[in-house]
Structure 1
Amino acid sequence: MNDFSPSDLKTILHSKRANMYYLEYCRVMQKDGRVLYLTESLSSKGNENQYFNIPIANSTVLLLGNGTSITQAAMRMLAQAGVLVGFSGGGGTPLHMACEVEWFTPQSEYRPTEYLHSWMQFWFDDNKRLAAAKQFQQARIAYLHTVWQKDRDLKGEGFDFNSAQIQTALDTFHTRTDAANKQSDLLLTEAQLTKVLYKYAANNTNAQGFTRQHQPDTNSTSKANDFLNHGNYLAYGLAASCLWVLGIPHGFAVMHGKTRRGALVFDVADLIKDAVVLPWAFVCAKENATEQEFRQQVLQAFTDHKSLDFMFDTVKQVALQTNTKEHIEANQL
C-alpha cells in the first residue's frame, strides 16, 4: 500500500472530525501506510498480538495513557494528518508530557495567520481584551442554553435550563459580567456560577456531600470528581486542536492568562465544559459507569452538540470582530 500524502490526510476539516482517542497498555506504530495500535491478548495458544486501525484522517486528539509507547514513524503520520498527541496518566488525567504547553502539536508552516493577526490587534489593549473575555462568557451561557434545551437525555435527568435556580444564578451572572472592570471580576463571577451548577447537578443526581476536587487523586472515592477531571481534559484536547488549526498561541488568553502560559486552552475549553462535561459527570457517577463508558458518553455528546464547531465559530468571531470600534463601544456602554 502506498503512503498517503499530507494533502490526502487533511481532506476532513478538523471541525468536522468525529474522533478523540484514549489508549493504554498498547504500542502505537505505523504499518503499511496506516497508524495502528498493538495489544496483547491471552488465548489457548498463548499471547497473541492484535492490531487495530486508528482513522487518523478523521481524528483530532490522541491521548496516550499508562503502558503506552509510540514509534517515530507513527508520530510522523499523525503530524501529517494534524492530530494532536498528549501523554497522560490513567483515565486521561493528569497530562504528563507537553509541547506547546498542553500537547504535542503537528508542525506545519501552512496554517492561516489572519486569526493570529486579528487576535494581536486587540490582545494588548486591556479594554479590548476584557471585551473579548465577556464575549467568551456570553457564548458559554448561550451554548449551555442550546445544549440543555436540546438534549432529551439531560432533560430526563432533571437538567432544566429554565429552572428557577438556574435562572436566578444566570441573572446574577449577567449583571456581574456586564459590570466587570477587570478579568479577576469575571473569574470570580464564573466561579460563583459554576458552584451553583455543581450544587444543582449534585441535587439532581443525589450526590450527597459533593465537594469539588480539581487534582486527580488515586484514592478518590468520588466518581463525579474523577469524571469531571477526565472530561475536562477531553475538552482541553478539543480546545488545543481548535487553537492549533487557527494558529493562535496558547499564551494569549483573555481570562486565565496571568499565571498560566497555556491559559487560552482553558478559556476555550470553558465554552463547553458546563454544558456537556459537568452534567454527564454527575449522571454517569450516579449510574456507576466505568471510565470508558463515561468517556464514550462525553465524546458522543461533543459530536451530537457540535462542540468543536462551536469552539471554532466562537474563537473566529472573537478574533475577527472584537477589535472593531463598534464592538468596543457596545461593551463599554
Structure 2
Amino acid sequence: MEQLNPSDLKAILHSKRANLYYLEHCRVMQKDGRVLYLTEAKNENQYWNIPIANTTVILLGTGTSITQAAMRMLCSAGVLVGFCGGGGTPLFAGSEVEWLTPQSEYRPTEYMQGWMSFWFDEAKRLDVAKQFQFARIEFIRKIWAKDKDLKDEGFYLDDQDIQQALNGFEKKISNMTKVGDLLLAEAQMTKQLYKVAATRCKLSFERNPEQGDLANDFLNHGNYLAYGLSATTLWVLGINHGFAVMHGKTRRGALVFDVADLVKDAVVLPWAFICAKEGMTEQEFRQQLLQKFTEYKCLDWMFEQVKLQACKSFPVVESE
C-alpha cells in the first residue's frame, strides 16, 4: 500500500477539518497504513476507519486503549488525543482532560510571541478577556439570528429575555476593572441563557455537572467537545494552554476554557436543551452537535478570534 508523507496528512488546514471523535469501549490501532478503532461485538470484532487527515481531536473515554503505532500516525497528521471520563467529561469533579499534543517543532512562533507581548500586562490581559466576551456575544447573535432549526424551537434573537441577557452583559463589559467581576457577569448571563433554553424546551433545570439529568449531561459532553476544538486551535497556533486571560492563571490549561467560551453559549447550550427535550441518546446528541459545529464554522471562529488578539500588538503574516 502506498505510504503517505506527513505533509500529505496535514494538507487540510485544522480550521477546515470536519471530524471530532469521542470513542469508548474500543482499541485504537494502526493497520495497513491506516488508523482504525476495534470494537468487540458478541460474535465478531469490527474495525472502523478514522480519516485522520480530516480529524482535529480524538477523545478516548471509558474502556479505551491506543497503540504506539496509532499514536505515531495521529501525531503525523496533527491530531490531538485526549483521555477523559465517560461521555466526554471527567470522571471526577475538578479533574481535567489530559491532552496528548503532537510534537512538532515547525509550528509558528509568532502567535505565541504576540500573545506574550501583552500577557504580563494585567490591563492588556483584561482587555483581551473583554474582547473575547464581545466576540462571544457576537457569535450568539450571528448564529441565533439565522438558524432556522433554533427558530423552530422558539429561540428568536429579538425575544425580550434573550435581548436582556445579551445586552445587559454587553453594557457591563467595558466598565469592568477586574477579571473576577467579568467572570461573575459572564456567569450571570449564562445563567439567564440556561433559563431561556429551559423555558423554550419546557424543562425544569438547575445547572449541576453531577446532576445526572439529560440537559446537564449533554452540557458536560458538549463543553468537552468544544474544549477539544479549543485545544486544537491553540496547539496549531503554538500558544501555550496555560496563558489564560480570564480563567484562573494558576489552573493548567485554562486558556482552553477561555477560547471554548467563544462558542459554548451559541452552540452547545441551546442544543443540549433541545436534544434533552427530545430524549436523544448521547450518540445522537453528539452527532447533532458536531454537525452544528461544522455548519457554524466554530473552529474557524476560534482561529479568527485568537489570531486577532495575538496579532494586535505584534503583526503576524503567517498561515496556520
Assess same fold via TM > 0.5.
yes
1:317 and 2:313 correspond: no
Distance in 1 separating the partners of 2:5 and 2:71: 15
Candidates 260, 264, 279, aligned match of 1:269: 260
Candidates 129, 135, 138, aligned match of 1:133: 129
Candidates 74, 77, 92, aligned match of 2:73: 77
Q: 2:38 is matched by which residue type in structure 1?
A: L
Aligned residue for 1:226?
Answer: 217
Within a 5 Å distance, the mapping from 1:1-16 to structure 2 comes to 1-16=1-16
Aligned residue for 2:208?
Answer: 213
Are the counterparts in 1 of residues 22 and 59 from structure 2 also a CA contact under 8 Å? yes
Are the counterparts in 2 of residues 131 and 322 from structure 1 also a CA contact under 8 Å? no
| Structure 1 unmatched ranges of 5 or more | 325-333
TM-score, structure 2 normalization: 0.94
1:288 and 2:288 correspond: no
Aligned residue for 1:50?
Answer: 46
Q: What are the Cα deviations for residues 2-57 of structure 1, in whole angstroms up to 9, with x where unaligned? A: 33221111000000000001111111110111001112223xxxx22211110000
Aligned residue for 1:38?
Answer: 38
Of residues 110-119 and 313-322 in structure 1, the stretch that sits farther from structure 2 once superposed is 313-322
Are the counterparts in 2 of residues 35 and 74 from structure 1 also a CA contact under 8 Å? yes
The secondary structure found in structure 2 opposite 1:179 is coil
Are the counterparts in 2 of residues 2 and 32 from structure 1 also a CA contact under 8 Å? no
CA drift at 1:138: 0.4
Aligned residue for 2:28?
Answer: 28
Q: 1:194 is matched by which residue type in structure 2?
A: T
Distance in 1 separating the partners of 2:33 and 2:164: 56
Give me the CA root mean square deviation.
1.5
Distance in 2 separating the partners of 1:180 and 1:206: 34
Runs (4+) off by over 3 Å:
none
CA drift at 1:102: 4.0
Are the counterparts in 2 of residues 17 and 60 from structure 1 also a CA contact under 8 Å? yes
Distance in 2 separating the partners of 1:29 and 1:323: 42
Q: 1:277 is matched by which residue type in structure 2?
A: V
Candidates 165, 171, 175, aligned match of 1:179: 175
Of residues 254-263 and 302-311 in structure 1, the stretch that sits farther from structure 2 once superposed is 254-263
Distance in 1 separating the partners of 2:52 and 2:29: 12
Within a 5 Å distance, the mapping from 1:71-150 to structure 2 comes to 71-94=67-90, 102-150=98-146
| Structure 2 unmatched ranges of 5 or more | 316-320
Distance in 1 separating the partners of 2:173 and 2:30: 49
Are the counterparts in 2 of residues 83 and 105 from structure 1 also a CA contact under 8 Å? yes
Identity %: 69
Aligned residue for 2:318?
Answer: none
Q: 1:287 is matched by which residue type in structure 2?
A: E
Are the counterparts in 1 of residues 201 and 273 from structure 2 also a CA contact under 8 Å? yes
Q: 1:304 is matched by which residue type in structure 2?
A: E
Within a 5 Å distance, the mapping from 1:180-199 to structure 2 comes to 180-199=176-195
Distance 1:245 1:31, change over 3 A: same
The secondary structure found in structure 2 opposite 1:321 is coil
Q: What are the Cα deviations for residues 148-198 of structure 1, in whole angstroms up to 9, with x where unaligned? A: 012110111011111111212222212211100011111011011001000
Aligned residue for 1:330?
Answer: none
Distance 1:63 1:95, change over 3 A: farther
Are the counterparts in 1 of residues 227 and 260 from structure 2 also a CA contact under 8 Å? yes
Distance 1:142 1:95, change over 3 A: farther
Distance 1:95 1:111, change over 3 A: farther
Distance in 1 separating the partners of 2:264 and 2:286: 14
Query: How many pairs align?
Result: 312
CA drift at 1:321: 1.3
Distance 1:102 1:139, change over 3 A: farther
